[in-house]
Structure 1
Amino acid sequence: MTGINWEDPFCGEGNNCFRIGTDPDGNAYIAIAGQEDHYLTDTREALRTLIHDIKAGKADHLL
């Protein structure tokens, strides 16, 4: 898909590298680096909430 502005990859220690992107229509995308053609998409607000919750430790039980 064209129009997605991908950020530099974020790599956790020993984990896959992820990329976050946005488009001019206000959508947000997340994908595994190198597999940007297979992404999840939602609103920027939903992505912002996801990142905030992860930083707050609300997803630690998933690790």
Structure 2
Amino acid sequence: MADIAWEDAFCGEGASCYRIGTDTNGNSYIAIAGREDTYLTDTTDALRQLIRDIKAGKADHLLAD
């Protein structure tokens, strides 16, 4: 397992809290706070773009029930 340096949790509206981390190989990680053992990983640029798209409302359809 990579040695991940996790940032403080980011909590939006509701109960969704996420943590973002990085390793020394240039990879970035995103996980639900408290469940850092199960994470999504990709390059820093890819996760940065994912976050931008979510903030722009491009992923709202993923959150619908």
What TM-score, normalized by structure 2, do the two folds share? 0.83
- Counterpart residue number, 2:35: 35
Between 17-26 and 2-11, the greater mean CA deviation after superposition: 2-11
Unaligned runs of 5+ in 2: none
What amino acid maps onto 1:10 in structure 2? F
C-alpha displacement of 1:27: 0.5
Matched, 1:16 2:16: yes
SS in 2 for 1:18: strand
Give the share of equivalent positions with the same residue, in percent: 75
TM-score when scaled to structure 1?
Answer: 0.85
| CA RMSD, 1 decimal | 1.4
Runs of 4 or more, structure 1, over 6 Å off, are none
Provide the aligned length of Structure 1 versus Structure 2: 63
Determine the C-alpha separation between the residues in 2 that align with 1:31 and 1:7. 11
Structure 2 residue matching 1:57: 3-state secondary structure: coil
**Which moves more between the two structures, 11-20 or 47-56?**
11-20
Consecutive unaligned residues in structure 1, runs of 5 or more: none
